[in-house]
Amino acid sequence: MILICQDFQINSAVGDMIRLYQPDWVLVPVLDSDTEFGRWAHKRAFDLSGLSNARFVVASSLALAEQAGSKAYPNIAVGLMVGPMDPTTPSSGSQRAVGTLLCQSHNPMCGKLTWGSDDPAWSQTNLAKPNPTS
Is residue 128 included in any domain, yes or no?
no
Is residue 57 included in any domain, yes or no?
yes
Is residue 55 included in any domain, yes or no?
yes
Is residue 36 included in any domain, yes or no?
yes
Is residue 134 included in any domain, yes or no?
no
Q: How many domains does the chain have?
A: 1
List of residues 6+ apart from 126 with CB closer than 8 A: 92, 94, 95, 96
Is residue 118 included in any domain, yes or no?
no
User: Which secondary-structure segment (H or E) carries 2?
Assistant: none
Is residue 46 included in any domain, yes or no?
yes
Is residue 109 included in any domain, yes or no?
yes
Q: What is the pLDDT of residue 98?
A: 84
Domain of 80, in residue numbers: 5-113
112 to 30, 87, 124: CA distances (angstroms): 18, 26, 19
Residuewise pLDDT in 10s, the chain (134 residues) = 999 999 998 888 999 999 999 999 999 999 888 888 888 998 999 889 889 889 999 998 878 888 888 887 777 888 889 988 765 655 555 677 888 887 766 666 666 666 666 766 666 665 554 444 54
